[in-house]
Amino acid sequence: MRPGGQPNMQQLMKQAQKMQQQLAVAQAELAETEVSGTAGGGLVTARVTGGSELLSVTLDPSVVDPEDVETLQDLVVAAIRDASHNARQLSEAKLGPLTGGLGIPGL
Q: Is 73 left (phi over 0), alpha (psi -120 to 50) or beta?
A: alpha
pTM given for the model: 0.71
Q: For the chain, 107 residues long, give each residue's pLDDT as a single digit of tens.
A: 455 666 788 888 888 888 888 888 888 888 889 999 999 999 999 999 988 899 999 999 999 999 999 999 999 999 999 999 999 998 888 887 776 655 554 44
Question: What structural domains and CATH numbers belong to the chain?
Answer: 9-97 (3.30.1310.10)
- Do 47 and 56 contact (CB within 8 A), yes or no? yes
**Distance between CA atoms of residues 102 and 83, nearest Å:** 24
- Do 40 and 24 contact (CB within 8 A), yes or no? no
Beta-bridge partner residues of 35: 48
